[in-house]
Amino acid sequence: MTASTALDVLATAQRLQQQDQPFALVSVLRVQAPASARPGDKAVVGADGFVQGWIGGGCAQPAVLRTVRLALADGRARMIRIAPDAEAGEGGAVRELDDVLEFGMACHSGGTLELFVDPVLPRARLTVIGDSPVAVALADLAPRVGLQVSVIAHGASADRFAAGLNLIAEDDAAAVAQRVVPGSFVVVATQGRRDVQGLRAALAIGARQVWMVASARKAEVLKSALVAAGQDAAAVAAIVAPAGHPIGAHTPEEVALSVLVAVVAARRQGAAVPTMSVLAAPPVTPPIALPEIAGVAAAAPRSCCGG
């Protein structure tokens, strides 16, 4: 691969990353002739196929694309070895050897390739609903663990949040639909101010998981009201409240930290290690329902968590 081609590949990777598009950067580590690729060759590969670059001909590409799809499904990097069938098994079979996935070559040109498949996924998204002290603290802490934050708040709340956040007015349905991506994690931290409206907004987003900062008793009352008003009962039942892990939180910042622990746990559980059988069909990760954890919101003062 020439220097200019390598730069083109890296430029494409940077553009896709800026656009929050998932892809894998595939690099050739070792080549045993005959093979058309060379060590250092690179390609940007998406779930639908090759985007830019070169890592070998048609014999290698099916195995690479198969591995890229798996890596994009669980977020794990992989080393793969593509070898003649006599070494790796008949008919394009795959086996695991130490930490390397070994594929039988799909054609008979010979040669062996070793490649590294490094998935680059969009940053996980967190949508905070509300403008309470906990909401402000959560919006401040979440970017520090790599979460991309949007805030949906009622009224003129811009001065309460750090500059640069994706701040959206609660009553601007068009902006919510355009700027909040389905599949984000959502925390409702309204804390007594427009709780029902905040929960309705959370359910309309198409969230991966919804938490609410409230006591268990208050959450049950609100959930019953939502179901009575026609909201989907299963979606309402999946709302986790009280939000967070029991760390003895008292201040808004401590409560926000406990909630963020739950979000990070759900995020990491979503990248569970699959078995080898999913190479043929990568799994769809179901929504994660963490168990209700009593005491976090209730332990905080009313000025923090809204009772």
Q: Is 90 exceeded by the pLDDT of residue 230?
A: yes
Most confident of 98-102, 115-119, 151-155, 282-286: 115-119
Could you state, in order of their start, the residue ranges of all structural domains in the chain?
20-120, 125-305
pLDDT of amino acid 157: 64
Instruction: With cut-offs at 50, 70 and 90, classify the pLDDT of residue 168.
Output: confident
Query: Cα 46 vs. chain centroid, distance in angstroms?
Result: 16
Architecture of domain 125-305: 3-Layer(aba) Sandwich (3.40)
Query: What's the chain's average pLDDT?
Result: 79
Residues 236-266 have pLDDT tens digits of 999 999 998 888 888 999 999 999 999 999 8
Residues 260-297 have pLDDT tens digits of 999 999 887 754 333 223 333 333 333 333 333 333 33
Distance CA 41, CA 32 (A): 14
Phi, psi of 78 (to 5 degrees): -145, 150
Distance CA 92, CA 279 (A): 12
Model-level pTM?
Answer: 0.61
Residue, of 76 and 106, whose pLDDT is higher: 76
Instruction: With cut-offs at 50, 70 and 90, classify the pLDDT of residue 1.
Output: low
Token pair 């739950």: residue: 262
Q: Name 229's Cβ contacts closer than 8 Å, sequence gap at least 6.
A: none
Q: Name 235's Cβ contacts closer than 8 Å, sequence gap at least 6.
A: 203
In DSSP terms, 24 is beta-bridged to: 45, 119
pLDDT of amino acid 217: 94
Tokens of 110: 């010979």
Distance CA 234, CA 144 (A): 32
In this predicted structure, which of 7-21, 56-70, 85-99 has the lowest mean pLDDT? 85-99
Residue, of 256 and 153, whose pLDDT is higher: 256
pLDDT of amino acid 34: 74
Q: Is 70 exceeded by the pLDDT of residue 152?
A: yes
CA angle 238, 201, 173 (to 5 degrees): 150
Across the range 145-153, mean pLDDT stands at 88
